[in-house]
A = this chain, B = another copy of it.
Amino acid sequence: MPEGVALARDLVSPAIEAAIGRLTPDVRVVAAYHFGFADAEGNPTGGGSGKALRPALALLSARATGAPPERGVTAAVAVELVHNWSLLHDDIMDGDTERRHRPTAWTVFGVGAAILAGDALLALAQDMLLEDGTPQGPWAARCLSAAVQRLIAGQGADLAFEKRDDVTLTECLEMAGNKTAALMACACSIGAVHLGAPPTLAMALAGFGAHVGQAFQLTDDLLGIWGAPEVTGKPVRADLRARKKSLPVVAALTSGTPQAAELRALLIDPQPLSEDDLIRAADLIVAAGGKQWAEREADAELAAANASLADIDLPADVRAELTAIAEFITARQW
C-alpha cells in the first residue's frame, strides 16, 4: 500500500471518530460499529475506519494547492462519511450480510437503525464543510452533493439492472461512472476546492479522479472473476457465482461473438452454478473478448488519468503519490 494511504489513515481516522462522536448516541453506536471503531456493544476495538483511500486522495488534493495535509482533513472526513453513507444504505438494498469481514450494520442493529445511521453521516458530511465559514465551504459542499446525486443514480441503475437482461455496455459504463468514479473525482478535487484552488487545478484533479475511478471499477470487476482469493478476500469467480452483471461480463454478453449466447444461457439458468459452470463462464468471457476489453479499458483510463495532470503545476511529491495510489488501486493481481 502506498505510504500516503497509511499516513492519511493516521491523520483522518481520529477526525472521523470525533465526527461520529457528535451524533446522537443511538446512531453513534451503529456508525462506530460500521467504521470498525467499536464492536456491536459499543466497546472500542482500537481499530477502524477502513482503507482510507478516498481520504488519502482528498488530502493529496489539498496538498496540490501547496497547503499542508492537515488543511485537507475536513474535506477528507466529509468524503469518507459520504462513502460510508453509501455503504450502509447499499448493504441494506443489496442484502449484503458481510463487509470488511464483519456482519453488516443492518444485520446487527436492524434495517431502521442502519438507514438512520447512513442518513446521519450524509447530513453530517455536508454540515462539516460549512462549519468553518470559509467562502469555499459551500462550493465544496455542492461538489459533494453533486457526487451524492450521482452515487444515487448509479445505485438506482444497479438495482434496475438486476431485473433486466438487456443491459448495454454503455449503460454499464455510465453506472460505474456514477457509482464509483463520481465520488473518486470528488475525493481527488474536494480538498483543493475547499481551499479555494483555481478552477483549472480543481477540474484537472477531478478529471484524474474520474478516470482513476473508472479504472478502479474495471479492475475490481476483473478481480471479481480472476482475482486471487488471498488478494480479494473473496473466493475466485465470486462475481460470476452471484451472476453480477459486471463490466467484463456485459462486454462479453454484448460482443456479438458465438460465445455470448452460451454465456447468456449459463447465467440466466436459475440453477446454482457448479464449479465447472463457473470455470466455463470465465473461459467464455475470455473467448468473447470481455476480459481483454476490460483490461485495455482500465489501462486506457489509467493513462487518461495521468494525462489529466500532465499540463498542470503540481508539487512533485503530490504528483508521485497520486500516481502511486492510482497504480495501486488498479493493480491486477492474479
Contact = CB atoms under 8 A, between A and B. Distances in A.
B27 A153 contact: yes
A118 B92 CA distance: 14
Interface in A135-192: 137-138, 141-142, 145-146, 148-149, 152-153, 155-157, 159-160
Contacts of A120: 149, 152
Contact of A152 (B24, B110, B127): B24
Interface in A106-143: 110-113, 115-116, 118-120, 122-124, 126-127, 130-131, 133, 137-138, 141-142
A307 interface: no
A41 interface: no
A93 B119 CA distance: 13
Given A127-B145, A145-B123, A26 B157 contact: yes
A61 B220 CA distance: 50
B152 A116 contact: yes
Given A113-B156, A130-B145, 20 more contacts: A26-B160, A27-B156, A85-B119, A89-B115, A89-B116, A93-B111, A93-B112, A93-B115, A94-B112, A110-B159, A111-B111, A112-B155, A112-B159, A116-B156, A119-B119, A119-B122, A123-B145, A124-B145, A130-B142, A141-B141
30 contacts: A24-B152, A26-B160, A27-B152, A27-B153, A89-B115, A89-B116, A92-B115, A93-B111, A93-B112, A110-B159, A111-B111, A112-B159, A113-B156, A113-B159, A115-B115, A116-B155, A116-B156, A116-B159, A118-B119, A119-B152, A120-B152, A122-B122, A123-B149, A124-B149, A126-B141, A127-B141, A130-B145, A131-B142, A138-B138, A138-B141
